Amino acid sequence: MMNVLVTGGAGYIGSHAVKHLIEQRHRVTVLDNLDRGHRQAIHKQAAFEQLDLRQTQELIGVLNKHKTDCVMHFAALAYVGESVTQPLRYYDNNTAGTLSLLRAMDATGVKRLVFSSTCATYGEPERMPITEDLPQSPINPYGWSKLFVERILRDYAAANDDFAYAALRYFNVAGSAADGSLGEDHEPETHIIPVLLNAALGKIPKVTIFGDDYPTPDGTCIRDYIHVEDLVDAHAVVMAALKPGDQRFYNLGIGKGHSVKQVVEAAKAVTGVDFKVELGPRRPGDPPQLYADASKIKNELNWQARVTDIRQAVENAWQWFKQHPDGYGA
């Protein structure tokens, strides 16, 4: 059992991680500024500190107060398009915020970190599936803001032999808690499954598919969708495995992709609603395929995703959306 500080623990992935850690009997503290997180998503058994990561001195106090053993770091802005129009905000929040966190950890002797990175650090990879040793060359400030953190972690670890960390590069995260207690509530919503389910609920009039002339079997983009409960389980497995001096990098995905049309068909089948779908032009910078080779974490830690059928992820998400049509505001 550990004392774990979860940054961004009021957000989509962070709240699921808190739930999972508490079920594993860890003592959990949520740190969130509630800019995009939801107070209603904070687990009742977790301590809560409303704080911005860039408040270094206050963060030092939080780490000491809760006798923190490990930090699980999810707090970040994560809209690719927004990062292009507001790059300074992304570097300030994602990169400088993590730098402040590391300063606080350094000051308090906290030596273990599990970092939420992203497959966006790979940019447009030269081959599929994506392995951890492929060149990292992001094509947007969001990806760079995370890659800069990976670089900082490498340098900090090189100067501190007993510091241990893992950078977990996610692919597309989907689904919700199987018990219906937690789900996805973003404003604006850009993730495909919530958009489709909002269309099924009649909250939006139609869904646009951006391009159907890609070099894929059905012409639409293919992506790797990992269930959020699998994702947070991987974080817990990695946290338990970290030893002093470890520097670990893992892709988190299911190792195969589903096309946009396949996800649309799954959403229609699960909801029973034939919502309107229209075809739009390609979006700039959308690679035809992105999916993980997740064999490294399987080989090293015997972890692999359990949910590999997109329909199951959609079914979990649909339960949440039916019960919470207005998200946590309902």
Catalytic residues: 142
Residue type, 120: A
Q: At what angle do helices 310-323 and 260-271 cross, to 10 degrees?
A: 50
Q: Are strands 70-73 and 112-118 parallel, antiparallel or unpaired?
A: parallel
Q: Is the peptide bond before 325 cis (omega within 30 degrees of 0)?
A: no
**Pairing relationship of beta strands 207-210 and 277-280 according to DSSP bridges:** parallel
Q: What is the sign, positive or negative, of the torsion defined by CA atoms of 254, 259, 260, 265?
A: negative
| DSSP bridge partners of 278 | 208
How many CA atoms within 13 Å lie on the side-chain side of 296?
A: 16
Residue 130 near residue 121 (C-beta atoms within 8 A) = no
Q: For residues 129 and 166, what is the distance between their CA atoms, to the nearest angstrom?
A: 21
d(CA 298, CA 137): 25
What is the C-alpha to C-alpha distance for residues 276 and 196, in angstroms, rounded to an integer? 10
